[in-house]
C-alpha cells in the first residue's frame, strides 16, 4: 500500500513538473522544474528496485547535466525580458499539442491492456554488484564505446564553444 | 556455283567500302580508285557469265534452272522468317548480265568522264554502292531483300543526282527524286504488308520468299482481291522507281547528276527495276487481269505522253530523259500484256542503246565544255566522229529501223499488243497497238531531231566554244563503240518467229516468266504487212525530221505558230505537270505543315506538353520546397505526425 | 505493488509532454530540456520492464541512455552557445539556414 501511495505521489509530481517544463516562461524555472521531475522519477526508480539507476539519476542527471543547463542559461543571461519579445510557443502550438495528446493517448491506450503483474525479483536486484557484473562482462564493448562517445563529446563541445571558431 | 553467288553483290560493296574510305581520307590515288572500281564490277560480270553458263547447263539437263544460296537467317520473329538468300533464275541471270555488263562499261566510261572532278573517289564509292544495291534487288530471294535493294538504289540515285550538291538546283533535284521515290516505295511496302496479312488471314504459313510465294499462288491459295491489291500496290512502287505516270516527274530532273549516272541508273538499270519486279512476280500478276490491264494502260499512256514532251525539249539530256520514260512505258506495256520476255528483251536492248545515247550525250557535253542546249550545238559530226557514229547507230536502234535491236524488241511488244490475250487484258489490243505505234513514230521523230540539231548543220555555239570542242579520251570512246555495236546486233538474241528466228530469249525466260500474250489473232500475213507499214512510216518520219530541221529550219517555228502555240506550249512546258503537282500537293502540304502541324500540333501540343510538364514540375517543387522551412519545430512536428500515424495503425490493428 | 501498465502510462504521458514541448517551444534550451524529458520517459519504461521480466539488462540500457544524454547535452549546449554568439538569440524561429 505504501509503495502504491508513494508511486502515485511521485508520478503526479513528475507530471506536474514536466508540464511546467513544457509550458514555463522562464528558462531557469523550467530547469528547476525539470530537476524536480528527474528527482521524482528517481523516487519511482527506487520503488522499482532500480537502486543503482536511481542513484546515477540523481548524480548524473539532476546533478551534472542540469547544472550544465543552468550554467548555460546563466551564461547567456536569458531573463524573462528577453523572452517577452517573442511568444513562448510557435505557430504549431495548437496542432502540436493536439498531436502530442493524441500520441500520448494512443501510447497509453496500448499500454493499459498490458496489465501483467510485476515478477518477484530476488535480493540484490538492481544493486551495484549485479549491474557491475553484467556491465563489465557482457556489455564491456558498449561500455568502452560509451567512454569513446563521451570523450568525443567533450572534445567537440570544447571546439564548438570556443570563442574563435 | 551457289557458294559464289554472294560474291557478285558483295564485290561491288567491297569496292564501295574501299573507295568510300579513299573518299574520306584521300588516301587513294585516282589510278587506284579506277582500278578498284572497275575491277570489282568486271569480276562481278565474269561471275555473272559463269552463273548464266551454269544455268544453261542445268537447262540442258532438263527442269527449271535455278540457283539458290542461303547465307544466314536474317530476320526471325515468331513464325515469320526471312533468310539472307539469293535466287538466280534465267530472268535474274539476264538482268545480272545487264547490270554488271553495262555497268562495267559505264564504270570504264566514268574514269574518263569524271577525270577532272575533285570528288573522284566519292563518285566511284557511290556508283559501286549502287551496283551492289542493284544486284541485291535483282538477286534477292525474297521480297524483303529485294526491298532492301530497292531502297538502296533509291538512296544511291539520290546521292548521285545531287552529286554536285553545292549547286542548289542539283541538290534540289536529288531531293525531288528521293521524295517522289518515297511515295512509290511506300506503295511497295504496303504491298508487302498486305501480302503478308493476306496470307496470314487465310491461315497460310506466311512467307515472302519468291519460290515459296510461287508455290502458294500456284495452289490458288490466295483470294483474288488480295492479289489484285498487292499487285496494284507493288505497281505503285514500280511507277515511282521506273518513272511512270503519275510519278515520272523526278526522272527529267534527275539529269542534274553526272551523265554516266544518268546512263547507268536512270536509263539502263535502276529505272527498269519496276519492269523486272513485275516479271519476277509474274506468277502473282498473272492471277489478276485487272492489275495487268492497269500496268499495260499506264505503260502505253506513259509511252505516248512522254514522247510528246520529248518533241520540244532543247536540253540534250532532257530529251533523252523523256525518251527513257517513254521506253519504260513500252516495257510496262509489254509486261502488262503478259509478254514478259518481250518486256525484258526491250529492257536489255534499251539498256544498250539508251546507255549508248546517254554516254554519247555525255561525250557531247564533255566536248562542249558543259553546254547541254542543243540550240547552241550543230555540226559536231566532223569534230567528234566517234561520238557521232555511235550516237547515230544508237538512234537508229531506238527508232526501230529494221534489223536493229530496237526493231526486234519494239516489234515484239507491238505484236504482243496486237495479239493481246483477252483473258489478261481487259482493253482492246488494237488500241494499245495504235498508241504504241504512234509513240514509236514520235520517238523516231524527236530522236532524229536531236541528231540533226546536234551533229548536222552549222555550229551555233560561237567561236570560243568551237575551238574547245574535242573528241573524248579512249576510256570514253571504247564503251560507246561496244554499246553501239550491241545496239545494232543485240537484237539477234531474240529474233522473232515471224522472221524465222528461234526466239532464244523468249524460250530462255519461259520458265521464270512465262508469256501469255501469244494468241495468234491476226495471222502472219497481216503481221508482216503491219511491220512493213511501220517501217515505211518510220523512214518517212526520219525524212520529215530531216526536212524540218536541216532543209528548212523555219518550219518548226511555223508549225508551232500554226498549231496556235497551245499544244506546243503544253509540250514545251511538260504539260505543266510540275506546276500542277506543286499547286495540288506540295503547296497544300506545305501550308498544312506550316500552319496546322507546326503552328498547332508542334507548338501547342508537342512543345506545349513538354513545357507544361516542366511547369508542373516547377510548381510542384515550389510547393514541396515550401515544406522545407528550416524550422526545426516543423520538422519535429512532421516526425510526430508520422509517429502518431504508425501508432494509430498499430492501435487499430 | 504497482502494475507495469501504470508505469507505462506514466512513461507515455511524460514522453508525450516532452514531445509536445519539442514541437511547440521556441527556446532552444527548453527544447533540449524536453528532449531530456523524453529520454527519461523511455528510461521509466525500461526500468518497469526490467522489474517485470526480472532482468537487469534494462537497467544497463538506462545507464547507456544516460551516458548518451550527457554527451548530447554537452555538445548541444556548446552548439547553443555558438549559435547565441553568432545570432544573439536562442529563438529557433530565427535559425532557418536549412530553409529550402
Are C3 and A116 inside 8 Å of each other by CB? yes
How is residue B333 written as a grid cell?
A: 506495256
d(CA A33, CA A19): 9
d(CA C14, CA C28): 19
A149 shares its domain with A76: no
The answer as to whether C81 is a domain residue is yes
For range A137-155, the mean pLDDT: 93
A133 shares its domain with A112: no
Which domain CATH number covers C76?
1.10.287.3510
In chain C, which residue's Cα lies nearest the Cα of A122? C54
d(CA B557, CA B561): 6
**What helix, strand, coil percent values describe chain A, rounded to 5?**
75, 0, 25
The whole-number pLDDT of residue B572 equals 78
Look up the ipTM and state it.
Answer: 0.90
d(CA B491, CA B342): 11
Interface test mutation site (partner C, options B622, B624, B625, B632, max chain C beta carbons within 10 A): B632
* Contact with chain A for residue B635, Cβ under 8 A: no
CB C73 within 8 A of CB A150: no
Nearest CA to CA, how far is A131 from chain C (Å)? 7
B153 pLDDT more than 90: yes
The whole-number pLDDT of residue B323 equals 93
- Please report which confidence band the pLDDT of residue B600 belongs to, taking 50, 70 and 90 as the band edges: confident
Residue reference for cell 528461234: B502
* Contact with chain A for residue C83, Cβ under 8 A: no
CB B252 within 8 A of CB B321: yes
Write the Ramachandran bin of B257: left for phi over 0, alpha for psi from -120 to 50, otherwise beta: beta
CB B268 within 8 A of CB B354: yes
Are B647 and A99 inside 8 Å of each other by CB? no
Are B633 and C19 inside 8 Å of each other by CB? no
In chain C, which residue's Cα lies nearest the Cα of A17? C14
B464 pLDDT more than 80: no
> Of the candidates A45, A99, A150, which has its C-beta nearest C67's C-beta?
A150
Distance from the Cα of residue A122 to its chain's centroid: 27
Alpha carbons within 13 angstroms on the beta-carbon side of residue B252 total 22
The whole-number pLDDT of residue B619 equals 93
Distance from the Cα of residue B281 to its chain's centroid: 17
A81 pLDDT more than 60: no
The whole-number pLDDT of residue B117 equals 85
The answer as to whether C65 is a domain residue is yes
Entry field: residues in chain A: 165
B272 pLDDT more than 70: yes
Interface test mutation site (partner A, options B627, B630, B633, B636, max chain A beta carbons within 10 A): B633
* Contact with chain A for residue C21, Cβ under 8 A: yes
d(CA B262, CA B158): 12
A95 shares its domain with A155: no
H-run or E-run covering A154: helix A140-161
> Of the candidates A100, A107, A110, which has its C-beta nearest B640's C-beta?
A100
Interface test mutation site (partner C, options B625, B626, B631, B638, max chain C beta carbons within 10 A): B631
Residues of chain C with pLDDT under 70: 1, 98, 100
Beta strands in B94-219, from DSSP E residues, in sequence order: none
* Contact with chain A for residue C20, Cβ under 8 A: yes
B2 pLDDT more than 80: no
Of A147 and B472, more confident: A147
pLDDT for B565-582, tens place per residue? 677 777 777 888 888 888
- Please report which confidence band the pLDDT of residue B616 belongs to, taking 50, 70 and 90 as the band edges: very high
> Of the candidates B627, B630, B640, which has its C-beta nearest C96's C-beta?
B630
The DSSP bridge partners found for residue B80 are: B77
CB B512 within 8 A of CB B89: yes
pLDDT for B103-115, tens place per residue? 999 999 999 888 8
Binding-site residues on chain B for chain C (CB distance < 8 A): 625-633, 636-637, 640
Are A118 and C8 inside 8 Å of each other by CB? no
CB B340 within 8 A of CB B513: yes
Q: What would the DSSP string read from start to end of B527-575?
A: HHHHHHHHHHHHHHHHHHHHIIIII-THHHHHHHHHTTTHHHHHHHTGG
The DSSP bridge partners found for residue B209 are: B142
The DSSP bridge partners found for residue B373 are: B315
d(CA A77, CA A18): 23
The whole-number pLDDT of residue B15 equals 92
A78-92, B427-441, B576-590: lowest mean pLDDT where? A78-92
Write the Ramachandran bin of B390: left for phi over 0, alpha for psi from -120 to 50, otherwise beta: alpha
> Of the candidates A15, A24, A121, which has its C-beta nearest C13's C-beta?
A15
Q: Domain end: A91, A107, A123, which one?
A: A123
For range B584-597, the mean pLDDT: 86
A103 shares its domain with A67: yes
The answer as to whether C96 is a domain residue is no
pLDDT for B109-138, tens place per residue? 999 888 888 888 999 999 999 999 999 999
pLDDT for B445-456, tens place per residue? 999 999 988 888
The answer as to whether C40 is a domain residue is yes
Longest Cα–Cα distance of chain A, Å, equals: 59
In chain A, which residue's Cα lies nearest the Cα of B644? A103
How is residue A159 written as a grid cell?
A: 571546439
Domain encompassing residue A7: 2-123
A83 pLDDT more than 90: no
A86 pLDDT more than 70: no
- What value does the mean pLDDT of chain A take? 82
A122 pLDDT more than 80: no
A44 shares its domain with A104: yes
The whole-number pLDDT of residue A139 equals 92
- What value does the mean pLDDT of chain B take? 87
For range B609-615, the mean pLDDT: 93
- Tell me how many domains chain A contains: 2
Are B631 and A90 inside 8 Å of each other by CB? yes
A46 shares its domain with A105: yes
- Please report which confidence band the pLDDT of residue A94 belongs to, taking 50, 70 and 90 as the band edges: low
d(CA B645, CA A46): 35
H-run or E-run covering B73: strand B67-77
* Contact with chain A for residue B633, Cβ under 8 A: yes
- Nearest CA to A100 out of C38, B632, C42 is that of C38
- DSSP reduced 3-state for B87: strand
For range B151-166, the mean pLDDT: 92
For range B370-380, the mean pLDDT: 84
d(CA A43, CA C44): 11
Domain encompassing residue C43: 4-88
The whole-number pLDDT of residue A164 equals 61
- Please report which confidence band the pLDDT of residue B484 belongs to, taking 50, 70 and 90 as the band edges: very high
Phi, psi of A34 (to 5 degrees): -65, -40
d(CA A7, CA A43): 8
B373 pLDDT more than 80: yes
B612 pLDDT more than 80: yes
In chain B, which residue's Cα lies nearest the Cα of A108? B651
How is residue B39 written as a grid cell?
A: 575491277
H-run or E-run covering C22: helix C4-24
B560 pLDDT more than 80: no
* Contact with chain B for residue A96, Cβ under 8 A: yes
The whole-number pLDDT of residue A7 equals 92
B289-293, B327-331, B417-421: lowest mean pLDDT where? B417-421
d(CA B513, CA B9): 23
- Tell me how many domains chain C contains: 1
Q: How many CB pairs under 8 A join B and C?
A: 33
- Nearest CA to B267 out of B341, B334, B317, B199 is that of B317
The whole-number pLDDT of residue B461 equals 77
The whole-number pLDDT of residue B320 equals 93
- Please report which confidence band the pLDDT of residue B60 belongs to, taking 50, 70 and 90 as the band edges: confident
Distances (CA, A) of B444 to B451, B481, B535: 11, 21, 11
A103 shares its domain with A132: no
d(CA A156, CA C75): 6
A165 pLDDT more than 60: no
How is residue A39 written as a grid cell?
A: 528527482
The answer as to whether C63 is a domain residue is yes
> Of the candidates C40, C53, C79, which has its C-beta nearest A160's C-beta?
C79
- Nearest CA to A70 out of B249, C36, B202 is that of C36
In chain B, which residue's Cα lies nearest the Cα of C15? B640
Every domain of chain B and the residues it spans: 1-178+244-281, 294-572, 590-652
d(CA C74, CA B285): 97
A85 pLDDT more than 80: no
Beta strands in C11-65, from DSSP E residues, in sequence order: none
Neighbouring CB atoms inside 10 A of B547's CB total 12
Interface test mutation site (partner C, options A31, A76, A149, max chain C beta carbons within 10 A): A76
How is residue B193 written as a grid cell?
A: 504488308
For range B174-190, the mean pLDDT: 92
Are B637 and C31 inside 8 Å of each other by CB? no
Neighbouring CB atoms inside 10 A of B611's CB total 12
Distance from the Cα of residue A16 to its chain's centroid: 14
CB B322 within 8 A of CB B306: yes
Share of chain B above pLDDT 70, in %: 98
- Please report which confidence band the pLDDT of residue B518 belongs to, taking 50, 70 and 90 as the band edges: low
The answer as to whether C94 is a domain residue is no
A102-116, B49-63, B266-280, B335-349: lowest mean pLDDT where? A102-116
* Residue C2 DSSP symbol: -
A108 shares its domain with A144: no
Q: What would the DSSP string read from start to end of B169-196?
A: HHHHHHHHHHHHHHHHHHHHHHHHHHHH
Phi, psi of C27 (to 5 degrees): -80, 125
Alpha carbons within 13 angstroms on the beta-carbon side of residue A63 total 9
H-run or E-run covering B70: strand B67-77
Of B420 and C70, more confident: C70
d(CA A90, CA C60): 37
B187-201, B433-447, B622-636: lowest mean pLDDT where? B622-636
A63-77, A92-106, B448-462: lowest mean pLDDT where? A92-106
A71 shares its domain with A131: no
> Of the candidates A96, A109, A110, which has its C-beta nearest B637's C-beta?
A96
CB A144 within 8 A of CB C66: no
For range B469-488, the mean pLDDT: 89
A16 shares its domain with A76: yes
A71 shares its domain with A19: yes
Distances (CA, A) of A6 to A16, A58, C12: 15, 18, 19
A120 pLDDT more than 70: no
Assess whether the previous peptide bond of B246 is cis (omega < 30° from 0): yes
For range B193-208, the mean pLDDT: 83
A104 pLDDT more than 80: no
The whole-number pLDDT of residue A3 equals 85
Q: Which residues contact A2 (CB under 8 A, 6 or more apart)?
A: none
Enumerate neighbours of C (3 or more CB pairs within 8 A).
Answer: A, B
Amino acid at each position: 500500500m505504501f509503495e502504491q501511495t508513494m508511486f502515485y505521489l511521485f508520478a503526479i509530481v513528475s507530471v506536474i513538473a514536466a508540464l511546467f517544463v513544457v509550458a514555463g516562461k522562464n528558462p531557469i524555472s523550467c530547469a528547476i522544474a525539470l530537476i524536480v521531475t528527474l528527482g521524482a522519477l528517481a523516487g519511482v526508480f527506487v520503488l522499482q528496485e532500480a537502486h543503482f539507476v536511481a542513484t546515477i539519476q540523481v548524480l548524473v542527471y539532476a546533478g551534472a547535466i542540469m547544472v550544465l543547463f543552468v550554467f548555460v542559461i546563466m551564461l547567456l543571461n536569458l531573463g524573462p525580458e528577453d523572452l517577452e519579445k517573442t511568444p513562448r510557443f510557435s505557430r504549431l502550438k495548437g496542432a502540436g499539442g493536439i498531436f502530442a495528446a493524441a500520441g500520448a493517448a494512443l501510447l497509453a491506450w496500448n499500454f493499459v491492456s498490458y496489465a501483467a503483474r510485476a515478477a518477484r525479483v530476488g535480493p540484490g536486484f538492481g544493486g551495484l554488484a549485479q549491474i557491475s557484473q553484467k556491465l563489465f562482462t557482457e556489455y564491456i564493448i558498449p561500455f568502452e564505446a560509451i567512454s569513446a562517445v563521451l570523450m568525443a563529446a567533450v572534445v567537440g563541445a570544447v571546439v564548438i564553444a570556443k570563442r574563435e571558431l | 556455283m551457289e557458294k559464289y553467288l554472294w560474291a557478285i553483290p558483295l564485290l561491288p560493296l567491297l569496292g564501295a567500302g574501299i573507295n568510300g574510305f579513299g573518299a574520306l581520307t584521300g588516301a587513294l590515288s585516282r589510278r587506284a580508285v579506277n582500278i578498284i572500281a572497275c575491277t570489282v564490277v568486271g569480276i562481278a560480270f565474269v561471275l555473272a557469265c559463269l552463273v548464266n553458263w551454269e544455268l544453261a547447263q542445268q537447262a540442258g539437263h532438263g527442269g527449271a534452272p535455278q540457283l539458290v544460296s542461303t547465307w544466314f537467317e536474317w530476320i526471325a520473329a515468331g513464325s515469320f522468317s526471312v533468310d539472307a538468300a539469293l535466287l538466280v533464275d534465267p530472268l535474274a541471270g539476264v538482268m545480272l548480265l545487264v547490270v554488271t555488263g553495262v555497268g562495267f562499261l559505264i564504270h570504264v566510261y566514268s574514269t574518263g568522264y569524271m577525270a577532272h572532278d575533285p570528288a573522284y573517289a566519292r563518285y566511284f564509292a557511290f556508283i559501286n554502292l549502287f551496283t551492289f544495291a542493284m544486284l541485291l534487288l535483282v538477286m534477292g530471294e525474297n521480297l524483303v531483300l529485294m526491298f532492301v535493294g530497292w531502297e538502296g538504289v533509291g538512296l544511291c540515285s539520290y546521292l548521285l543526282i545531287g552529286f554536285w550538291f553545292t549547286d542548289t538546283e542539283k541538290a534540289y533535284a536529288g531531293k525531288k527524286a528521293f521524295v517522289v521515290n518515297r511515295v512509290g516505295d511506300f506503295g511497295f511496302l504496303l504491298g508487302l504488308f498486305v501480302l503478308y496479312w493476306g496470307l496470314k488471314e487465310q491461315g497460310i504459313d506466311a512467307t515472302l520468299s519468291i519460290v515459296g510465294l510461287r508455290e502458294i499462288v500456284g495452289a490458288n491459295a490466295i483470294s483474288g482481291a488480295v492479289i489484285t491489291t498487292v499487285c496494284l500496290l507493288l505497281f505503285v512502287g514500280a511507277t515511282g522507281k521506273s518513272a511512270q505516270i503519275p510519278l515520272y516527274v523526278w526522272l527529267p530532273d534527275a539529269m542534274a547528276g553526272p551523265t554516266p549516272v544518268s546512263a547507268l541508273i536512270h536509263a539502263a538499270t535502276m529505272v527498269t527495276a519496276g519492269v523486272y519486279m513485275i516479271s519476277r512476280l509474274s506468277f502473282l500478276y498473272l492471277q489478276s487481269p485487272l492489275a495487268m490491264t492497269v500496268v499495260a494502260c499506264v505503260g502505253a499512256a506513259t509511252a505516248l505522253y512522254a514522247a510528246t514532251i520529248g518533241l520540244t525539249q532543247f536540253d540534250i539530256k532532257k530529251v533523252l530523259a523523256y525518251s527513257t520514260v517513254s521506253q519504260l512505258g513500252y516495257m510496262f506495256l509489254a509486261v502488262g500484256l503478259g509478254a514478259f520476255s518481250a518486256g525484258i528483251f526491250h529492257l536489255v536492248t534499251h539498256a544498250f542503246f539508251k546507255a549508248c545515247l546517254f554516254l554519247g550525250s555525255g561525250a557531247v557535253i564533255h566536248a562542249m565544255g558543259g553546254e547541254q542546249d542543243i540550240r547552241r550545238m550543230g555540226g559536231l559530226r566532223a569534230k567528234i566522229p566517234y561520238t557521232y557514229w555511235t550516237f547515230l547507230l544508237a538512234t537508229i536502234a531506238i527508232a526501230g529501223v529494221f534489223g536493229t535491236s530496237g526493231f526486234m524488241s519494239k516489234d515484239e511488244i507491238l505484236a504482243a499488243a496486237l495479239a493481246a490475250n483477252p483473258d489478261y487484258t481487259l482493253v482492246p489490243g488494237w488500241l494499245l497497238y495504235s498508241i504504241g505505234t504512234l509513240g514509236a513514230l514520235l520517238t523516231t521523230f524527236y530522236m532524229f531531231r536531236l541528231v540533226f540539231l546536234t551533229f548536222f548543220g552549222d555550229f551555233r555555239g560561237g567561236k570560243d566554244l568551237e575551238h574547245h570542242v574535242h573528241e573524248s579520251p579512249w576510256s570514253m570512246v571504247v564503251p560507246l563503240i561496244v554499246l553501239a555495236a550491241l545496239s545494232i546486233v543485240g537484237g539477234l538474241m531474240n529474233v522473232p518467229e515471224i522472221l524465222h528466228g528461234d526466239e532464244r530469249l523468249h524460250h530462255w525466260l519461259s520458265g521464270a516468266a512465262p508469256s501469255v500474250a501469244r494468241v495468234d489473232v491476226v495471222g502472219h500475213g497481216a503481221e508482216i504487212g503491219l511491220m512493213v507499214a511501220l517501217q515505211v512510216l518510220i523512214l518517212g518520219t526520219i525524212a520529215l525530221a530531216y526536212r524540218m530541221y536541216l532543209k528548212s529550219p523555219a518550219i518548226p517555228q511555223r508549225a508551232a505558230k500554226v498549231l496556235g502555240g497551245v499544244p506546243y506550249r503544253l509540250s514545251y512546258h511538260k504539260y505543266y505537270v510540275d506546276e500542277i503537282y506543286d499547286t495540288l500537293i506540295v503547296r497544300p502540304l506545305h501550308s498544312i505543315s506550316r500552319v496546322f502541324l507546326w503552328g498547332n500540333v508542334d507548338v501547342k501540343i508537342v512543345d506545349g506538353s513538354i513545357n507544361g510538364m516542366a511547369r508542373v514540375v516547377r510548381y510542384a517543387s515550389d510547393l514541396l520546397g515550401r515544406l522545407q522551412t528550416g524550422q526545426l519545430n516543423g520538422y519535429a512536428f512532421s516526425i510526430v505526425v508520422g509517429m502518431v500515424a504508425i501508432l494509430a495503425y498499430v492501435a487499430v490493428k | 505493488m504497482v502494475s507495469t501498465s501504470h508505469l507505462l502510462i506514466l512513461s507515455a504521458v511524460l514522453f508525450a509532454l516532452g514531445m509536445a514541448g519539442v514541437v511547440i517551444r521556441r527556446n532552444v534550451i527548453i527544447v533540449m530540456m524536453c528532449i531530456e524529458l523524453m529520454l527519461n520517459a523511455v528510461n521509466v519504461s525500461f526500468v518497469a520492464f526490467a522489474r517485470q521480466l526480472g532482468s537487469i539488462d534494462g537497467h544497463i540500457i538506462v545507464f547507456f541512455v544516460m551516458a548518451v544524454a550527457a554527451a548530447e547535452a554537452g555538445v548541444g549546449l556548446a552548439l547553443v552557445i555558438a549559435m547565441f554568439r553568432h545570432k544573439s538569440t536562442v529563438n529557433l524561429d530565427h535559425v532557418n539556414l536549412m530553409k529550402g
